[in-house]
Amino acid sequence: MEDLEAADAKMVKQAIEESESLDRAVCEALASFPTVFHAAMIEDLRSMDAEETEKHIERQIEEADAKLWQAKVSSFESLLLRDLATIKRASAGHTHLKDRFLDTCMFIFLSSLSMQFFWTIVLLFCSICMNCYFPCHSNH
């Protein structure tokens, strides 16, 4: 203010103290700037080649991530198919063992019944035959 003439200094002092236009200009200037700032936002420091290179690198990273996740999904599907095959094989083995067990149980049960039936018939026949053909062996 010392370098200005008295009239100009008075006008600047009045504009600063009484006017809102300077406050509004400062607020608009502050509002126009982004809240986050980094060096890439300065045009002089950022080159067009670097921007294309960054886009290319980002694209490569995205493609690699997509391939990685596709490989993980494929691996998971393969593990599921292997587990499904194991379950089917175990189920078939269980069914086979169950059928053999039931067949064996039925054979033993039927063998037991047939043996009882056989001996009942043999004894019945023998007792009839003994009485008919060999009267001397009768129990009277």
At residue 132, does pLDDT exceed 90? no
Determine contact, residues 86/94, Cβ cutoff 8 Å: no
For helices 21-32 and 6-18, what crossing angle results, to 10°? 60
Give the pLDDT of residue 2. Answer: 64
Q: What percent of the chain has pLDDT over 90?
A: 19
- Rg of the chain over CA atoms, in angstroms? 52
* Number of residues that make up the chain: 140
* Sign of the CA dihedral running 43, 46, 47, 50: negative
CB atoms inside a 10 Å sphere around CB 130: 14
41 touches 33 (CB < 8 A): no
Task: Tell if the pTM clears 0.75, that is, is over it.
Answer: no
First-residue to last-residue Cα distance in the chain: 157
> Does residue 135 surpass a pLDDT of 70?
no
**Phi-psi region at 19: left, alpha or beta (left = phi > 0; alpha = psi -120 to 50):** beta
What's the mean per-residue pLDDT of the chain?
A: 77
Residue pointed to by tokens 């420091």: 45
List pLDDT tens digits, range 17-70: 777 777 788 788 777 776 666 666 666 555 556 667 778 888 999 999 999 999
